A and B are shown apart, each in its own frame.
Chain A
Amino acid sequence: MGIVSPGFRRRRRDDADLPPGQYLTHDFPVLSAGPTPRIPLPEWEFAVVTEAGVRHRWRWDELLALPAEEPTVDIHCVTKWSKLATTWRGVSLDVLMEDVETAADYALVHSYGGYTTNLPLEDLLDGKAWVAYEFEGSELSPPHGGPARLLVPHLYFWKSAKWVRGIQLLLDDEPGFWESVGYHDYGDPWREQRYQGD
């Protein structure tokens, strides 16, 4: 147990089973490193680029034409808030990776605006990740990553790159934006992997 702060009393009743250090929120805080990028849909594209340089790409209408799923998931932000049972609509990475031939173990995700984040490729597969374009039945708003963001709910939310534009498959791990300024390489909320060395 931590050091008791005299006079501190719990005020929030989070009945849910949250990862350590998290508290429940009902609104949807925003965290990003710069201004919200503006991405005209006719110019939008999402690409998966293999370690051999092979490029698989989808334009906006092509993405919407793919089979979609509606995952309901809990999300956990490294700034300590969690939201439970959020509903999204988007395309599973399993669908997008179907015809991609790769021996890569790692993925570096790229966003419009220049943001990047890294994760093991296996954390994107087997129903664990989506390219999401709707949140709670409405189109995803730009501050929350619209037109489309990555959704990887089992990791801290900075891995769920907003304004996603593509995934680069890599044989070796390469840190992304927050990972190279002191945040944890993997980011498992249940093991409280917030910062390097956690």
Chain B
Amino acid sequence: MARTALPGRLSTRLTWRVATLAEFHDETATARTLRLDVPGWPGHLPGQHVDVRLTDEDGYSTQRSYSLAAPADGDRIELTVQRLPDGEVSGYLADTYAVGDPIEIRGPVGGWFVWRPPDPAPVLLVAGGSGIVPLMAMIRSRRQAGSRVPFRLVYSVRTPADQFYAAELRRSARADGGLDVAVVYTRSAPDGWARPAGRITAADLEALGWPASFEPTCYVCGPTGFVEAAAGALVDLGHDPRRIRTERFGPST
């Protein structure tokens, strides 16, 4: 793995900032997109995340990481949180957290799982479930930068109702030149869908991704089992492991 140079701001101390919820909308029945105002936000690269700290009235506090879902819009940032059954922080952020309420965040964090708009290499994005979030930030940054770098997204979800950013991704595939979007369903596919529902395989990535000879940078993000399977399949298809970057969300099996 090559060592990556970082923008100067990352080497300065990361301080906790108070963020307030400006607006939100439900992405699916179990996921919510939050738009937060963070005064003094220094900006970030797509793929980076923030740490969120919650504190209750008794002084108990806990932290989790959430990917930035979009390029910064001044002091405004966007997160998308998938509610996990019985999850301590995701449940609060996806259900209880209300407009005007404060949370503490710090970041941006992470300098490896990032895409830099001037990078000319083709990109293969492979998302499982909520692993789409940092990859969506890359797609949106590409659009914002007016980049024509070939981008291909393979997005694995359980059912059509579990897709994040569904309307935007449908639109993007047509409107953003050089962006291909393919959705793979693991539990139930729409009527008439050619591929039967099932977990992602090397054959899917061969059919829907870029050939290894095209030398894309691959970003794979999702639950541990998904990332293990998808990154392993890419290696089997001949992709250089040094060009495969992974980020794993949540528990192992």
Contacts and interface: CB of A to CB of B under 8 A. Distances in A.
Contacts of A1: 55, 59, 61
A195 B234 contact: no
Contact size range, B = 35 or more
A8 B56 contact: yes
A78 B20 CA distance: 25
B57 interface: yes
A143 B224 contact: yes
Nearest to A30: B224
Contact of A27 (B1, B101, B232, B251): B251
Contact of A10 (B13, B18, B88): B88
A11 B91 contact: yes
A36 B55 contact: no
A7 B92 contact: yes
A80 interface: yes
A23 B231 CA distance: 28
A160 to B, nearest CB: 16
Contacts of A38: 235
Interface secondary structure of A, over-half rule: loop
Given A1-B55, A29-B250, A33-B245, A182 B92 contact: no
A34 B231 contact: yes
B58 interface: yes
Contact of A197 (B14, B58, B110): B14
B1 A177 contact: yes
A181 B18 contact: no
A32 B112 CA distance: 11
Interface string B200-240: 00000000000000000000000010011001101100000
Contacts of A101: none
Given A5-B103, A30-B248, A195-B14, A35 B63 contact: no
A79 B65 contact: yes
B110 A181 contact: yes
B55 A182 contact: no
Interface string A1-27: 111111111111000000001010101
Interface secondary structure of B, over-half rule: mixed
Contacts of B14: 182, 195-198
B172 interface: no
Interface residues of A, number: 43
A127 interface: no
B64 interface: yes
Nearest to A37: B241
Contact of A33 (B13, B58, B59, B112): B112
Given A31-B248, A34-B241, A182-B11, A115 B92 contact: no
Contacts of B51: 194
B48 to A, nearest CB: 9
A8 B55 contact: yes
B119 interface: no
Contact of B244 (A11, A27, A35, A196): A35
Interface of B: 1, 3-4, 6, 10-14, 16, 18, 51, 53-65, 86, 88, 91-92, 96-98, 101-104, 109-113, 224, 227-228, 231-232, 234-235, 241-242, 244-246, 248, 250-253
Interface of A: 1-12, 21, 23, 25, 27-38, 79-80, 113-115, 143, 177-178, 180-182, 194-198
